[in-house]
Amino acid sequence: MRTSLEAAREQIHIDTVNVLQSIIEKNYDAEKGYKKAMKDAKTPELKNFLKRQAVQRSHFATAIDKELHLLDETPRDKGSIAGTLHRAWIDIRTSVTGKDDEAVLSEVLRGETASVKEYEELMKHNTLVPHASNVLKSQLKELQGTLERVKSLKDIQG
């Protein structure tokens, strides 16, 4: 018979794995999205910014992959269907509105806003093992900084 402490630990493990699996998938999606946006960007400054963000998301996925392995779990190894559909929507939208830097930044802003919200919601509504929680808090802080940077870039463009 399991004690309530064992049951709580098991639930924390399950919650942590589910959150990490969800977020690793989103980071794969974001990395692919940034690489795609890089192709659409016109200015070298924006291309470099997008490249740095793709690398950041790759690092995020690697860190989450490590956390999942520490929990004896196998990480998902690709993005989501929703992410693929979102990139297809971006293709359609930018072909209609034009692939200018303002359109690219609008999509990046939308994606970063969604990422920050998802990190916040998942962390708020789930109890996670401390080390994984610390990794996600650090990533969230970086995402919030990126979001502010995108907003300032958008203000300069618009």
Quote the CA–CA distance of 94 and 125 in Å, as a whole number: 35
Q: What is the reported pLDDT for 82? A: 55
CATH, domain 4-157, list 3.10.180.10, 1.20.1260.10, 1.10.3720.10, 3.40.50.1100: 1.20.1260.10
Q: What is the reported pLDDT for 100? A: 82
- pLDDT band at residue 155, thresholds of 50, 70 and 90? confident
Domain boundaries, the chain: 4-157
- pLDDT band at residue 153, thresholds of 50, 70 and 90? confident
Residue 105 · residue 150 · CB < 8 Å? yes
| Tens of pLDDT, residues 78-134 | 655 554 555 444 554 554 455 688 888 888 888 899 999 999 999 999 999 999 999
| Tens of pLDDT, residues 27-86 | 998 998 899 888 888 899 999 999 999 999 999 999 999 999 999 999 987 655 554 555
Average pLDDT for 131-144: 97
Q: What is the reported pLDDT for 134? A: 98
Quote the CA–CA distance of 106 and 154 in Å, as a whole number: 7
Q: What is the reported pLDDT for 148? A: 93
Q: Where are the alpha helices (DSSP H) in the chain?
A: 4-40, 44-70, 81-97, 101-124, 130-157
Quote the CA–CA distance of 156 and 158 in Å, as a whole number: 6
